[in-house]
Chains A and B, each alone.
Chain A
Amino acid sequence: MLFTFINSLTLGMAVFLVAAGLTLIFGIMRILNFAHGAFFMLGAYLTSTLIGDMPGSIWVLIGASMLSGLVVGVLGLVVQHFVLSKLEDVDEHFMLIATYAVMLLCVGAIKMTWGLEFHSVDPPPGLDLGVVIFGTFVPSFSLFIIGAGVAVFLVLDHVIHCSWSGKLAVAIARDGWMSNLMGVNGPLGVRMVVGASFALAGLAGGLLLPNQTLSPALGDTFLLMAFITIVIGGLGNIRGAFIAAIILAVIDGLNILFLPGFPGVLIYVGMVTCLLLWPNGILGESRL
């Protein structure tokens, strides 16, 4: 029982790592970024190139993930400059198609660079086995993912709600025109948040790399679940996404305990129910 929920929480936090960047870019630009999964995958491939088959230690893994996050963040700025910023004054759905096109390009580029074969990267030494907590066996890497999810959430929450730059970003997101009048460099703020969103995708890719198999379909595994998470939590709401990820974990745990014959189905049912109960997400839609 406890074991089931720890495993489901691992899944939930893994999804949160992907969803964090997704909800951030929605908060500032009001777009569902279809390319997010592809850039997540790119982060994973970059990290694997940096560290080879096995990271020397947990710090190597984290460092390489951050570096990949940085690279993906810069690529995000490129996408923002050449694509997204050109579509600001037309119907918001054009951005949707644009991110879809960017996703295709990114997946295509990954296939050309790294090929189609499956690759696997191992957890760093010390994280490849398990520990016993309260008489329950828990894989160490699960704890690492849960820890990473919580850490990313705490940092983001602090930056958005307590720091100066986070407050500026919130101001731009809530009323870009007004904050421009107040002397805030709006476009720069938007660029920073978009870059951070992509960087988070890359970072998530690196951190989850030892947990998954590298293949050009990796992005699809997480994208839909990340969408569902940010919708349940309230779009653009980072706290909402975190709570939704935990709810998702509970639903998944219940699914495994009570409906083992239909794996993964309860998530959809749960999401439909959540939306009907809280039409704007649990914590409501938020502009960051």
Chain B
Amino acid sequence: MLDRRHFMLGTTAVLGTAAAPKFLRAQSEPIRIGLITTLSGPGQIYGQYIQDGCELAVDLINARGGVNGQPIELIVRDDRNSPDGALVAFRELAGDGVKLFAQGTFTANVLATLPLLEQNDVTMMVVGTSSLAITHQNYTRNMFRLGYSSPMCFGGYGHLMAERFPEISNWAMVRSDVQSLKDITDAFEAGMRAKAAADGREVNMQEPILVPYNGADFRNQISQVTNSGAEGLFNCLQGADAITYYKQARSFQMDKQFKLMCDSANELTVAKALGNKMLDSLWSWTGWYPQAAENNPTSDALLAAYIEKRDDPYPNWFVGVAHDCIATLAEAIGSTGSTAAADLIPAIEAQSFQGATGTVAFRTEDHSFAGDLTYIRFGKSESSETGWEVFESVQMAGVDFLEPATPGRELQ
């Protein structure tokens, strides 16, 4: 059966003109890594950051002579932001013999491919997704998630704010009407409450105010927030929604009404879009802020390469995380000399190295990323050419906030 199938495969490969070069290429040198991400539709911007990060990583590694003398080849596929698209891309590349994958942005598309990893003997790096399902109920050994779980990065966020600003005891929250963002506000609230309780304080966390996803007008919700009487505000909106929201909030002078404003994860995207109309001061979590990374040549090299490619000194955090995904695979292949999952999985579990985002290491039990957390505060600046600047950044160890490992089971 197997023989006949191989024979048929070979025959079609020779007959089919399109398949022929690929068939031949399978025998040549480079280490092939498949990248599946969203490269069309509304999510394309994040997919492009991931593609940039991975391509720059490959370029940097190949410029150093590759891994054990072998160059890396990146094969990019668009998941069309659908589980179907991700499955087609994964099965195509896996059927073609690709054993190493990076996949990112939207959780549902990642969840679609996870059940296929083991039977295809694939090692996959999941880029950036914060969903708990990936390392809990949908856990599989062949996957490493280089991304920040909500309890870790937003629980840590709540903790940091409670620690730095103990005087603010009344918080309002705003989020888009999407369940995955509920995990984020829940984690922020839990982290804040835990730290306040440890310090013997009470905090009042108001119910999150919901806004429509991809909405056109947020003024009603903005006025609700400004009338809430809260002193601190946590905004959990994404991308264009977040920018529209801050922009429409300006006529309400929202930033004057709150002593402290926190954005979830839009980091400098907000400042870059708003320019000199940026709010006075805003906190945000970020996965990679190269200007704060001291003594990190990997980060510096990536930043330089990114500036050369896109002429933008403030890359999105996805670029750094995507780079580190490729770097993780390269590191493990370098130390084992193998691309088989059986060799790579223990190697990645054991290894720890300096990537662009800081120390890259995974928890053995559920392959969660336990890297550094970075929070930045930025805002309007008269002196800066861009109209805004970053005032400070804080780094914390993520491992302190990582949720308990329950691979294969839902976190209770």
Contacts and interface: CB of A to CB of B under 8 A. Distances in A.
A and B touch in the complex (CB under 8 A): yes
Given A11-B216, A15-B216, A263-B215, A215 B239 contact: yes
A51 interface: no
Given A7-B223, A111-B44, A221-B215, A53 B247 contact: no
A221 B275 CA distance: 23
B342 interface: no
B251 A140 contact: yes
B405 interface: no
B251 A129 contact: yes
B251 A215 contact: no
Interface in B242-290: 243-244, 247-248, 250-253, 269, 272-277
- Contact residues of B: prevailing secondary structure: helix
A8 B220 contact: yes
A216 B275 CA distance: 19
A175 interface: no
Nearest to A145: B217
A10 B219 contact: yes
Interface in A89-141: 111, 116-120, 122, 128-130, 137, 139-141
A44 to B, nearest CB: 12
Contacts of A10: 217, 219
Contacts of A7: 217, 219-220, 223
Interface residues of B, number: 37
A220 B48 CA distance: 20
Report which residue of B209, B217, B239, B247 has the largest number of chain A beta carbons within 10 angstroms of its beta carbon: B217
A45 interface: no
Contacts of A222: 216
A23 interface: no
Contacts of B215: 221, 263-264
Report which residue of B251, B252, B273 has the largest number of chain A beta carbons within 10 angstroms of its beta carbon: B251
A212 B273 CA distance: 11
Interface residues of A, number: 43
A178 interface: no
Interface string A215-229: 111101110010000
B251 A130 contact: yes
A193 to B, nearest CB: 26
Contact of A141 (B209, B251, B273): B251
Nearest to A136: B223
A220 B215 CA distance: 10
B208 to A, nearest CB: 10
Contacts of A260: 209-210, 224
A280 interface: no
25 contacts: A3-B223, A7-B217, A7-B223, A8-B220, A10-B217, A11-B216, A118-B239, A118-B243, A120-B273, A120-B277, A137-B223, A211-B247, A211-B248, A212-B216, A213-B247, A213-B273, A215-B239, A217-B240, A221-B215, A225-B216, A260-B209, A261-B210, A263-B212, A263-B215, A264-B212
6 interchain residue pairs of minimum CB distance: A264-B212, A217-B42, A139-B251, A116-B45, A213-B243, A11-B217
